[in-house]
Amino acid sequence: MLKNERIEIQIDGMTSEGQGVGREAGFVVFVDGALVGEKVKVQIIKVAKSYAIGKLLEIVEASTMRQTPFCEVFGRCGGCALQHMKYEASLEFKAGVVRDALARIAGISDSDVSRVVLPIIGMKSPLNYRNKAQYPVSIHPNGSMVSGFYAKRSHDVVSHKNCAIQHETSNQVREIVMSFIKKYSSEITIFNETSGKGLIRHILSRVGINTGEVMVVIVATSSKIPRQAELVELLKGSISGLKGVFVNVNSERTNIILGKKSIKIYGADQIFETIGDLKFGISPLSFFQVNSIQTELLYSKAIEFAELSGRVLVYDLYCGTGTIGLFAARNARKVIGVEIVPEAIVDARANAAANGIINAEFGVGAAENIEFEADPSEVVVFLDPPRKGCEQSLLEKLVFERPQRIVYVSCDPATLARDVKILLLGGFKLESVQPFDMFPWCNDVEVVTLLSRE
C-alpha cells in the first residue's frame, strides 16, 4: 500500500475514538468519518508497518446509522466526533466500547459481559447540555480575531458562533466578549502560543442549568484587561442570571487553560447548581460534571449500587468537590472524602455546610494513602478517579482490606477495565456495569460499576 493511493474498502469495525476500520492488502485502514457497514473510497495519507490512515473521499454505500451532521463545522472542529451517526446508534456504539473493553482488557467472558452491562442511559434532548464552555481566542492567518474550538489534534482554532451542545447562554457570552475585544483591538491583544506574547487566551463560562446562575471568566496573561469595567457592564446588561465575572491569570507557556489565580471583578465568588435536592457552589477552578441533567441520574445510580445502610462508613476517594459523598451521607454513618487538590476540598467542605450535612468530612491527600477506620465489612468505597484510572497501590490496598462494596465511576472504559481486572484477580466480583451518555455526540462514555467482595 502506498501513500496517496486511492482504494475502495468495506468498513467492518470502529475504534473507541469513532474511526471506521477496514482492511486492505494485509493492512488495517483507519478512516475518520466512516461507519460500520459502509463501503467507502479513501485516499491513503499515512502508511505504517501494519496499518494505514485513509482520508474519506466518497461514501459508496451508506450505513443506516448515518445522518446529516447538524453543525456547520463538523469534521473541522475537534469536539463532536459522532454527529454523522444517529443518536440511538451512537448510544449503542458507546455501550459497545464498554463491552469491548471489559472483554478485551479485563478478560471477562462474552456471556458475563452480556449479563453485567446494563442498557446505556442516554438523554431525551441531547443538545445544549454543557454547563461549562471554554473558547480559545486566536488570530486567524488572515489577521482576524477568532474564537471557537480547537481542530482535531491541533491548536488551530475553528471559528464557531453557535455550538449546539453548549448552553445558549455560553454562546451568548462568547459573542459579547468577542465583540468587545474586536471593538478595542488596538488596546486588547490576543495571546500567541508561538511567541508567548499577547493578553487574551480563553473565554470561559459556567452556567447553572437548574439555577440559571452564570459565571464568566476571561483567561489572560495579566491580572487586568483594558476597559474591564465596560465589559462587566455589557455582560450585566445582556446576560440574565450573571452572578460573577473573573479574570484568570495564566502567563505560562502551557496547554493548561486556567492559571492558579482568579481575580473577581464583579459579583459573587461562585455560582450555585442543584443536583437533586442538593446545591453545590462552583468557583472558577472547581471541577464539576459538565452535564447537570445526566449527573443526577449517574449519582442516583451510584447510590443505588452502593446499597447503603445507616451503619456503613463510606470512603469517597478522588472526591473532587464532594458531590458523590454528599449524596451518600444521608444513608451512611459517616462519609470520609479524600482529594489531592486542596481547592477542591475547600469547595467540598463548603458544599457540606451549605447543605447542612454534618456527617461528612473531607481532607487533602492521596487516595492510596487512606487508612480504613472501621471493619471492612462495614465499609463502602466510591472511586471516581481521573481518566488515567486508579493508582495500582490503591487497588492493592482495596484487595487487602476487602471493603463490602466498591462503586467505581469512570470516564475511560479502558482504564476502568484495567483496574477491574486487578480487583477481580484480588477476589472481588463484578456485579453490574451501567454506561451513561454524559457527552452526547462526543465519543466519551461514563460508566458506573459495582463490585462486591466474594
93-123+291-453: CATH topology is: Rossmann fold (3.40.50)
CATH topology of domain 6-61: OB fold (Dihydrolipoamide Acetyltransferase, E2P) (2.40.50)
**DSSP annotation of 121:** B
Q: Phi and psi of 378, rounded to 5°?
A: -110, 20
Residue type, position 304, single letter = E
- In whole angstroms, give the CA distance from residue 163 to residue 70: 10
Of 163, 161, 159, the residue nearest 140 (C-alpha): 159
Catalytically annotated residues = 411
**Looking only at Cα atoms, what is the longest distance across the chain?**
68
Query: Where along the chain do the CATH 3.40.50.150 domains lie?
Result: 93-123+291-453
Question: Alpha carbon 402 to chain centroid distance?
Answer: 30
CATH architecture of the domain covering 132-282: Beta Barrel (2.40)
Name the segment(s) of the chain with CATH classification 2.40.50.140: 6-61
Q: What is the predicted pLDDT for the residue at 376?
A: 85
Retrieve residue 251's grid coordinates.
502567563
Question: In the chain, where does the domain assigned CATH 2.40.50.1070 lie?
Answer: 132-282
- Local confidence pLDDT in tens for the 454 residues of the chain: 899 999 999 999 999 999 999 999 889 999 999 999 999 999 999 999 999 999 999 999 999 999 999 999 998 888 899 999 999 999 999 999 999 999 999 999 999 999 999 999 999 999 999 999 999 999 988 889 999 999 888 888 998 889 999 999 999 999 999 999 999 999 999 999 889 999 999 999 999 999 999 999 999 999 999 999 999 999 999 999 999 999 999 999 888 999 999 999 999 999 999 999 999 999 998 889 999 999 999 999 999 999 998 899 999 999 999 999 999 999 999 999 999 989 889 999 999 999 999 999 999 999 999 998 888 889 999 999 999 999 999 999 999 999 999 999 999 999 999 999 999 999 999 999 999 999 999 999 999 999 999 8
Query: What value does the CA radius of gyration of the chain take, rounded to a whole number of Å?
Result: 24
Confidence (pLDDT) at 177: 97
24-60 as b/e, with b when 16 or more CB fall inside 10 Å? beebebbbbbbbbebbbebebeebeeeebbbebeebe
Cβ pair 98, 435 in contact under 8 A: yes
10 Å CB burial of residue 310 (0-12, 13-18, 19+) is: exposed
Question: Residue 296 — φ and ψ, nearest 5°?
Answer: -60, -40
214 Rama sector, left if φ>0, alpha if ψ -120 to 50, beta otherwise? beta
What letter does residue 301 receive in the DSSP assignment?
Answer: H
> Whats the size of the chain, residue-wise?
454
pTM greater than the 0.85 cutoff: yes
Across 222-248, b (16+ Cβ under 10 Å) vs e yields eeebeebeebbebbeeebeebbbbbbb
pLDDT given for residue 153 in this prediction? 80
Backbone CA torsion sign across 353, 354, 356, 361: negative
Q: Strand 157-159 to strand 145-150: parallel, antiparallel, or no bridges (unpaired)?
A: antiparallel
Residue 235: per-residue pLDDT? 98
- In angstroms, the CA 16 to CA 418 distance is 15
